[in-house]
Structure 1
Amino acid sequence: MPQPTLLNNEIRDMLMDCGLFDPLLAEDFHVAAGYFNISSIAQGEAIFREGDAGTFMCIIHSGQVAVQKTNHEGQRLTIATLRSGRAFGEMAVLDGERRSASCIAASDCVLLNLGKDSLEKMLNETPRVAAKIIRAIAIALSKRLRMADGQLLSQQV
């Protein structure tokens, strides 16, 4: 079989491993895999910078990613370290806004990427699978927002 099939199977397995898309059926993973790609990022390399156009999202297959924000004095502060299975960059893919933070490889990383264009293509070609992907992303974002709300509340007590 040609190489793309092997790559598609590798991406499918990585999507199944990440946990983000657990509600998907086995055939959904196979379809979705055709819209994702894999990238390897070296430690210290910027995946994207705060203020960049948001053209893709990532899921960490292996490695760690530092999320950094620039404070009012121009210093970059690490606000979170993300580990395997975690998605990031989804907000920009969904809302088209610029990046709200920088993401830097804190170690060598293997990432799954879904481009905004690929998500649009998936919506047109396989809307049922795309809806499940978007719903899973929305649930992950909702959980993160609830956690942040809880943290803000605990800081005010």
Structure 2
Amino acid sequence: MSDHSAFLEEISSMLLDCDLFSHLSPAELHAAAHYFGVNKIAEDEIIFNEGDAGTFMCIVHSGNIAVFKANLNEEQVEVTRLGHGRALGEMAVLDGERRSATCQASEDSILLTLSKEALDKMLEEHPRIGARVIRAIAVSLSRRLRMAVGQLVDHII
């Protein structure tokens, strides 16, 4: 097995291990693996800053990512932590807007990455698989939005 094949198998395995893509078959995940990369991020390393251009998204394979948002005084406030299987940066990849938060590794982490360019290429070359990946991302965003609205209502009442 070549290094490239072994790398693709590793990415396929990581995708298979991710609940986000549980509705994709192993063959579809193997095809999608060609478009993903893997990044090792050191503890305290900034992945991206609020306001940066959104050119890629990540899925946490291992480790922990802290998400910060600037408050009215421009102080960075930690709003959540993301662990295994959680996606980050996907809004900017889908809508082309700037990053809505800063993400920083709170421990050494391994991230699967998907660039906007690679997602566009996947949609062109494998439209069905690309659409299923986008749907998985949209479902994840929808769940998070519903949870956030619920938490907001809980604070109002």
What TM-score, normalized to structure 2? Answer: 0.98
Task: Give the share of equivalent positions with the same residue, in percent.
Answer: 54
Superposition RMSD in Å? 0.6
The equivalent of 1:81 in structure 2 is 81
The equivalent of 2:104 in structure 1 is 104
Q: Distance in 2 between matches of 1:127 and 1:18?
A: 21
Q: Distance in 1 between matches of 2:154 and 2:44?
A: 33
Q: Secondary structure at the match of 1:32?
A: helix
How far apart are residue 71 of structure 1 and its match?
A: 1.4
The 5-angstrom pairing of residues 108-127 of structure 1 reads 108-127=108-127
Q: Which amino acid aligns with 2:89?
A: G
Q: Distance in 2 between matches of 1:5 and 1:13?
A: 12
CA deviation vs aligned residue, 1:104-157 (integer Å, no higher than 9, x gap): 000000000000000000000000000000000000000000001111111111
Q: Which amino acid aligns with 2:6?
A: L
Q: Secondary structure at the match of 1:20?
A: helix
Q: Which amino acid aligns with 1:134?
A: I
The equivalent of 1:143 in structure 2 is 143
Q: Distance in 1 between matches of 2:17 and 2:87?
A: 12
CA deviation vs aligned residue, 1:73-114 (integer Å, no higher than 9, x gap): 121111101111101100000000000000000000000000
Q: Distance in 2 between matches of 1:104 and 1:111?
A: 12
Q: Secondary structure at the match of 2:22?
A: coil
How far apart are residue 53 of structure 1 and its match?
A: 0.3
The equivalent of 1:92 in structure 2 is 92
Q: Which amino acid aligns with 1:52?
A: D
The equivalent of 2:27 in structure 1 is 27
Q: Distance in 1 between matches of 2:146 and 2:135?
A: 16
The equivalent of 1:43 in structure 2 is 43
Q: Distance in 2 between matches of 1:109 and 1:48?
A: 14
In the alignment, structure 2 segments of 5+ residues that lack a partner are none
Q: Distance in 2 between matches of 1:72 and 1:6?
A: 48
Q: Which amino acid aligns with 2:34?
A: G
CA deviation vs aligned residue, 1:14-50 (integer Å, no higher than 9, x gap): 0010110011011100000000000000000000000
Runs of 4+ in 1 over 6 A off after TM superposition: none
Give the paired residue count.
157
